[in-house]
Amino acid sequence: MTSDYETGFLARIFTASDGLKLYARDYGHDNPLTADRAPVLCLPGLTRNSRDFHQLALILSRDTIAPRRVITVDARGRGLSTWDEDKSHYNLNVEADDVLSACAVFDIAQAAFIGTSRGGLVLHIIAGTRPDILKAVVLNDIGPVLEMEGLHDIRTYLNRERKPADWDDAAEILKENHGASFPALIADDWQDMAYAIYAEIEGKVTADFDPAIATQMLALDLDAPLPDLWQQFDGFNSIPMMVIRGENSKLLSAATVTEMEKRHPGMIAVEAMGQGHAPLLHLDNIPHAIQSFLAANS
């Protein structure tokens, strides 16, 4: 397990527009060398949180040539953000508004954004409402079309009844669920993933999100076609974009990436070899690809 998961950042609490208290990690905030570069805001997936980006945030904020301020956000109901009593607020529009609240609180007029899975869907909403705030965008294994096979996989693992007995068991459960799609991961990577997804609460290793979020996913009718987000995706046309697709992803198809490239001719497509949904962004050549993209576009 990474030894410095709780260092290298300033913990921040901010207030959403409806008063809910939300949590973020602020990396590189005290480094004057980051002032001339656009900050990076990282938005996690459906049941993930700010810890998902910890290693990448350290890489970007401690870069010896071009360090950047990096803010990683816990969406409402995830990680250390407050669980919402109104469960209907777990939706893309409210979560997009929460991101804009974070930008206002942290005095960010424009930023480069990295959105993993649901975080990338939130960015589709922002592209349609506040494209001016998007300096550049990295979509991690997400696009305007979601494949049913991937959605079924997500629902299946969220519905697993086996709970981890300890941290080693948590890593083993993740490997059982995702190992076939992630042959590139080694033992330490599964431990890191476990720490990012689970938390020790009242002495038990527990999934670190409001169970109502999983309940929403389990209630989704996957026999009915889902609406696509091509109209919202077109809002990215004038914004520099990189799309990272896991080689073994079942949620974002290669065909969708090809269509995204047609609609956004300047888009850069990167494949995370040996990974599925959603790729770990601190492995292999992915950090270098992100750094190069940010250097050229923000």
Q: What pLDDT score was predicted for residue 2? A: 54
Calculate what percentage of the chain has a pLDDT beyond 90.
87
CA atoms 129, 133, 137, 139: torsion sign: negative
State the average pLDDT for the chain.
94
Q: Is 243 left (phi over 0), alpha (psi -120 to 50) or beta?
A: beta
- pLDDT tens profile 173-223: 999 989 999 999 999 999 999 999 999 988 899 999 999 999 988 888 888
Calculate what percentage of the chain has a pLDDT beyond 70.
99
Q: What pLDDT score was predicted for residue 106? A: 95
State how far the Cα of 251 lies from the Cα of 145, in Å rounded to an integer: 8
Q: What pLDDT score was predicted for residue 217? A: 86
Q: What pLDDT score was predicted for residue 237? A: 93
Q: What pLDDT score was predicted for residue 3? A: 54
- pLDDT tens profile 85-137: 999 999 999 999 999 999 999 999 999 999 999 999 999 999 999 999 999 99
* Residue 40 bridge partners (DSSP): 70, 112
| Structural domains for the chain | 10-148+227-297 (3.40.50.1820)
Count, residues in the chain? 298
| pLDDT range class, residue 224, cuts 50, 70, 90 | confident
pLDDT higher than 50, residue 82 = yes
- Please name the amino acid found at residue 70: V
| pLDDT range class, residue 16, cuts 50, 70, 90 | very high
pLDDT higher than 90, residue 170 = yes
Burial of 83 (0-12, 13-18, 19+ CB in 10 A): middle
- pLDDT tens profile 226-267: 899 999 999 999 999 999 999 999 999 999 999 999 999 899
| pLDDT range class, residue 9, cuts 50, 70, 90 | very high
Spell out a b/e string for 142-164, using b for 16 or more CB atoms within 10 Å of the CB, else e: bbbbbbeebbebbeeebeeeeeb
Q: What pLDDT score was predicted for residue 71? A: 98
Place of tokens 């990448």: 56
State how far the Cα of 167 lies from the Cα of 213, in Å rounded to an integer: 23
Average pLDDT over residues 68-89: 97
